[in-house]
Amino acid sequence: MASTIPAAASFGTLSQIDAGPLNVGYVDAGPSDGPVVVLLHGWPYDIHSFVEAVPLLTSAGCRVLVPHLRGYGSTRFVSDDTFRNGEPAALAHDVIDFLDALGLQSAILAGFDWGARSADIVAALWPERCAGLVAVSGYLIGSQAAGKLPLAPEAELQWWYQYYFATERGRAGYEKYRREFAKLIWRTASPKWAFDDATFDRSAASLENPDHVAIAIHNYRWRLGLADGEARYGETEKQLAEGPVITVPAITLEGDANGAPHPDPSAYAAKFSGTYSHRTIEGGIGHNLPQEAPAAFADAVLEVGGIRK
């Protein structure tokens, strides 16, 4: 059963709903009978990455849902005994649980970073649940086996924080300095984005979630094969390791100044077999594309869903 709690003024009121192992905090905006759009944020950001894109979508008649991922904001685990799992399959199953809890058969899925990966996974493995896909940085489905393969030194350097998190010193450092850490990531991932302290503080508050550090550390350790996942997601991870093709209508986006590790669009174009296009958004746009270029992001969502503005 859904309930409501106060939220940042920019989103008015958040709703809460039990969905699988989580009680999810989420934005529910726009007409209840409109085309459903689910927006999925990344690390270390939160729902406010979409604060300017949401009204652009609701004004076009969409019902827009923006959930806090596990370990962020007001989202909590229903049970204290649940393993704080950050593996990609768990996050993707969270999306399915969220749709089920709201009684929704399908939705347009759009996101960036962790959120784009979850949207990619749902689109690939449960295409009947995805009416269209917008993925910033494209096809982000991977596996532990792929994560064990070494990269060229310059590419490895971009993943410095992943190796930091592999150590106990890194876990303790992120626990103590998570806000400072997040601001550093924001600056390096979006080097031309002149965000102010108020914008950062609004999202950084979501990192105070009691499960945030455990989820973030497990996610990056899992990628390197340094932490185990859960047996319940084993079959999903096996399917993902095969690099499944995405058949639903899709648009991929990339900022021209993305300072975070990301694949070249040519590397993943063949992973989309349905109606597909890619566009690079210019103007110094970095990793947090939905917040840095909300109009371009919203336009892609409307286009992939065949929705007129």
pLDDT of residue 8: 42
Over residues 77-99, the mean pLDDT reads 98
Rounded mean pLDDT of 169-177? 98
Phi first, then psi: what are they for 48, rounded to 5°?
-75, -5
Query: pLDDT per residue over 248-266, tens digit each?
Result: 999 999 999 999 999 999 9
Per-residue confidence (pLDDT) for residue 309, from 0 to 100: 61
Identity of the amino acid at 222: W
- State the DSSP string of 175-240: HHSHHHHHHHHHHHHSTT----HHHHHHHHGGGG-TTHHHHHHHHHHHHTTSS---GGGHHHHHHH
Cβ–Cβ < 8 Å for 286, 161: no
Note the pLDDT of residue 285: 98
Query: Would strands 63-67 and 76-77 be described as parallel, antiparallel, or unpaired?
Result: unpaired
Q: What is the pLDDT of residue 102?
A: 98
Q: pTM for the complete prediction? A: 0.96
Q: Could you give the percent of the chain with pLDDT greater than 70?
A: 97
